[in-house]
Amino acid sequence: MVVSQSCDLVHHDLNKEPSAVFLVLKSITSVTPDVLHGRNPRLIHFSATAGQSFAAWAWNQVVIPREDLAERKAEPSFELEAKVLRYILDWLAKRFTRIAFPDTFNDALDSKSKAIRSLLKKTHQIFSEILLHVEPFEELKGAGSYELACYLLMPPEIHDDPQQLASARAVAAKLEALFAACGMEVVDCSPVSELNLSVAELKELVRWDYDHLTHRETTRSEPSGH
DSSP string, 120-156: HHHHGGG-SEEEEEEES-S---SS---EEEEEEEE-H
The per-residue pLDDT for 67 is 86
Residue-wise pLDDT tens digits, 182-216: 999 999 999 999 999 888 888 889 988 765 444 33
In this predicted model, which residue has the larger pLDDT, 71 or 85? 85
Domains of the chain in sequence order? 6-97 (2.30.30), 103-208 (3.30.300)
The per-residue pLDDT for 214 is 40
Residue-wise pLDDT tens digits, 79-137: 888 888 888 988 898 878 778 889 999 999 988 988 998 888 777 678 888 999 999 99
The per-residue pLDDT for 218 is 38
Q: What is the mean pLDDT of the chain?
A: 85
The per-residue pLDDT for 211 is 55
Q: Average pLDDT for residues 150-159, to the nearest whole number?
A: 92
Q: Average pLDDT for residues 36-58, to the nearest whole number?
A: 89
Confidence class of residue 42 from pLDDT cuts 50, 70 and 90? confident
The per-residue pLDDT for 124 is 65
**Rounded CA gap, 120 and 113, in Å?**
11
- Beta carbons of 132 and 208 less than 8 angstroms apart: yes
Predicted TM-score of the model (pTM):
0.67
- Please write down the long-range contacts of 132-141, taking CB distance under 8 Å and 24 or more positions apart: 132/205, 132/206, 132/208, 133/204, 133/205, 133/206, 134/101, 134/102, 134/105, 134/206, 137/101, 137/102, 137/206, 138/102, 139/102, 139/103, 139/104, 140/102, 140/104, 140/105
Among 90, 150, 148, smallest CA distance to 120 is for 150
Would you say residue 7 has pLDDT above 50?
A: yes
- Work out the burial of residue 200: count CB atoms within 10 Å of its CB; fewer than 13 is exposed, 13-18 middle, 19 or more buried: exposed
The per-residue pLDDT for 82 is 87
- Beta carbons of 148 and 134 less than 8 angstroms apart: yes
